Amino acid sequence: MNKKTILVTGGAGYIGSHVVRQLGEAGEQIIVLDNLCTGFADAVLYGELVVGDSGDRELASRLLSEHNIDTVMHFAAHLVVPESVEKPLKYYGNNTCNTRNLLQCCEEAGVKNFIFSSTAATYGIPEGGVATEESCTAPINPYGTSKLMSEWMLRDLSAASDLNHVILRYFNVAGSDPEGRIGQCTPNATLLIKVACEVATGKRDSIKIFGTDYPTEDGTGVRDYIHVDDLARAHLDALEYLRQGGESTLVNCGYGHGYSVREVLDSVQRVNGKPLNIIEQLRRAGDPPQLIAGAERIRNLFGWKPRYDDLDFIVQTSLDWEKKLKSRNNS
Ligand code: UD1
C-alpha cells in the first residue's frame, strides 16, 4: 500500500506553507490544494501543488481517493477581519460552505484525521482578556463566526462518524521561517508586526497605534503573539496525537502571555536600530483591549514545546523577511 498522504488546503499561504515545510522535513508525503488567490506557488517547498478550490467537491474527492490520504489539514480561508464585516457572505462562502463541502468529501472517502485552523476570534471579548478552551465563544465579527460554524460542523461530524479532529485556535501569529526561505507575503497587510516591519524597511511612512486609552498597563492593546514556526510545530504534534488514537479535541495556540502595541513597536525599533515614525490614533472598531491564550492544554495534551517565545526573535525574523522581499522587488 502507498505511504499515507496528507492533504493540506491553503498550503501556499502564510501559515500553511510553514506547516508544509515542517511536514516535508519530517518526511511526510503531501498534496497541497490551493487556489493561489492569496497564496504563492513558490512558498510550497515540499509535496505536489494542485491549483484549485478546497470547496470543489469533485476535485477534493478525486484527490482524496487517488492519494491514500489519512489526514486533511485545512488552512484555506479568508482572514481579514474588517473585510469580513463588509463582505460577510464572502467569508461564510469561502470559510464555512467550503469547509462543509470538504467535510462531505472526507466523510465519503473515510478520511481519519482532520486538523482545522481556527482562531481566537471565536472568543470575541473574553472576560479578563484571557481565553481558555472553556471560555464562552461569542465572536464579534463574521470572520470569527465563519470559523466557529466550521468548528461546530466538525464536532457534529466527528460525533456521527469515525473522523477524529483537532481544532487549533490561533492567537496572533507572527514571524517567519528562521532560515528565511518563506514568510508573510500578504499585500495590503493590516497585522501589527508585519506593518511595523514594512515601516522599518521604508515600504510605508508611518505606523499608527490604534488606541492609547485601553484599560491596559500602557493604554494600548495587548495580544499573545506566537511565532509561526511554533504554531506550525503544533500541527505536527496534533497529527502525531491523532495518529496515536487521540480523541477529538480543541486547543488554543498561544504562549499564554502578551505584549502591548507599544512593547511590540519598541521591539521593532530595538531590533532595527532606528526609530519608527509612530502616530497615535483613536481605537480601531472591533478591537478587544486584551486577548491572551490560556495555553496549558496544548502543552499537557500534545507535549508541545515552543522554541521561539521571544518577542525580539519574532520581530527579527519578520524584519529579515521584509528586507528580503524588498531586495527581491528592487532586483
Ligand atoms: C485579528 C484577529 C485574528 C486574525 C487577524 C488577522 C481578532 C480578535 N483577532 O487579530 O483572529 O487572524 O486579525 O486579520 O479578531 N494595531 C495597531 N496598529 C496597526 C495594526 C494593529 O495599533 O497598524 C493594534 C491593534 O489595535 C491590536 C494589535 O495591534 O491591538 C494587534 O492587531 P492585529 O495585528 O491587526 O491583529 P488582531 O486584530 O489582534
Query: What is the total count of domains within the chain?
Result: 2
Separation CA 175–CA 271 (nearest Å): 13
Give residue 85 CA to ligand 1 midpoint distance, Å: 14
Q: Point out the ligand 1 atom lying closest to the alpha carbon of residue 119.
A: 11
In a domain, 184, yes or no: no
Host domain of residue 18: 5-174+225-253
Task: Report yes or no on whether pTM surpasses 0.85.
Answer: yes
* In a shared domain, residues 101 and 43: yes
Alpha helices in 46-191 (DSSP H): 57-66, 81-86, 88-91, 98-109, 142-160
Q: Does the CB atom of residue 21 touch ligand 1 within 6 A?
A: no
Catalytic residue flag (residue 214): no
DSSP one-letter code for 238: H
Separation CA 154–CA 188 (nearest Å): 32
How far does CA 312 lie from the centroid of its chain?
A: 20
Q: Does the CB atom of residue 71 touch ligand 1 within 6 A?
A: no
Q: What is the pLDDT of residues 68-122, one digit of tens each?
A: 999 999 999 999 988 999 999 999 999 999 999 999 999 999 999 999 999 999 9
Task: Take atom 27 of ligand 1 and give the residue whose Cα is closest.
Answer: 221
- The CATH number linked to 236 is 3.40.50.720
Residues 46, 91, 143, 308: which is the catalytic one?
A: 143
* In a shared domain, residues 126 and 198: no
Residue partners of 71: CB distance under 8 A and separation at least 6: 4, 6, 7, 111, 112, 113, 114, 115, 239, 242, 243
Q: What is the pLDDT of residues 14-53, one digit of tens each?
A: 999 999 999 999 999 999 999 999 999 999 999 999 999 9
Distances (CA, A) of 179 to 13, 183, 216, 321: 17, 10, 35, 10
Q: Does the CB atom of residue 130 touch ligand 1 within 6 A?
A: no
Give residue 27 CA to ligand 1 midpoint distance, Å: 35
